[in-house]
Structure 1
């Protein structure tokens, strides 16, 4: 694979947007031991993993609670309607039963009573069955005992005929009982609905409060992460370069405070400067960075450190071969900058191992 193609494949693989054909080709290339830039895939994956943290969460619309409450009220109305329909159907069925039980006229009622009496009389006139077997000693003893102690006569009680008024009274009492049962069931259903609605509203309030607190905490985490990413944005972008050289900056003597770090990319002519515990500057002063090559000083720029900016970006580094740069020097110069070092040197750093400590001027 060509160098550009490898970089494009690594970027697409880390972002997860590689199609099936290229993914298969890239996987076979890795399994066969193809050459890949050292650490490039891991750095891209780390940078891409920070992207979801920056996304801002959307807060739910406050109208959701009103919609849920309206839905519960509509459910309550539906339950009431079902109760009303049930009561109506109960009344209709009770009327149907009453009408089926009512006789058509008084003659039909008297006829049914007469038929009942006739059936009872016919049953009384039927003689008891006689035994077919010849009498034995036990049978004779039983017959003699019956003659001495005859059984008490069986009394027959005749029920008085029921009138139409009695039937209507029974039917009305049945209607009243059915009505009371329906009212009791309706009251229980309504009471259960009210209890469920009360507990549900409390649960929704607690859930909404928990969601609001969770959203606030997530927004704070996102804001802190965003501030962290913005603070190290320059560093993340700069670390994608391949030819980075880190130069440690140390005080020129024991009487000078401060230290720092200078990261340079001679290919892209960019760098990052980090300064810590530096001497206090005047209102018209700044720190100026110099690259020393073959005894000559080349200015990189004048900078004033700020607590809000940890890494100071450096642009347009002079065209100098990396192997010809000997030292890096930091001096205190006027705010407008100097063409040559004039102020005292506070920090220096060796680019090559042969560099020595510079003088203060």
Structure 2
């Protein structure tokens, strides 16, 4: 048995070239496998025919066995097979029953029956089984392409939504961090004021203790006047010390507040620059990722669109060719009926009968 195979570089369910009945396609580089197999007819398990089979992309085509001679001599075949079997999602298994020792059973998703063929030897049986299964997977991969495109588009929308939520959370986190730093600084200033207040209260307590001691002393009027004078001086010193402490505290607090404002402003600027840089890097990475994904999707869409247009053109050509054949067959049948009526008429000669019978034979 003649057996050959070749790889196709792209998925295409049919050739895009339009041809008439007498035209044919060069299949030396357009089919995956071809050869003669035994085929079991539908509904007749005991019968079997010898047919010439061709696997093209994801379809199994079969012809009369005479097509093999045409292929061996010219490497071409007619585009009108006796049958076309789509292999998308098919399941192929070996069988050796009912007089077909090297048989193959092809089960299809969209058909209730099965297709049974057989090879001449085990090597050819394995070769055909492998190529049939690979063609079925090619059909599935083409269908998965569209599903993958839709999935990637949905993932892109989800990533954009998550990115917006992430930016919102980052802004809230920055605001909370700023508020926390301000609260810590206020607590520190309150603690400094408490310490200064405690020192001032200790000085006041000492002065009051000295005043009590002075009251308990018995002395002369001069001594009392001296004590009163010292008391007045101490009171003045106390007031001056209190004012001085308050002014120093206010001045220190004002200086601290100014320094804190400068530090906070510098920190915000530094944080903003660092975050802007990080955001720019993240955005650049995301831009490159989306750009590569968009390029891949565009290429896949372009390929799928071209394949679809090519398939539609081929199917249209096939339908036009079949309609032309049916038209010619109808004309031939009408001519045959006219000739047979002429043969049955009474008004005819032997020469005319001979000529009409020749025409009938030629039409048949």
Flag the structure with higher helix content. 2
TM-score of the alignment, normalized to the shorter chain, above 0.5 = no
TM-score bucket (shorter structure): 0.3 to 0.5
Larger radius of gyration: 1
TM-score for both structures, normalised by structure 1 = 0.37
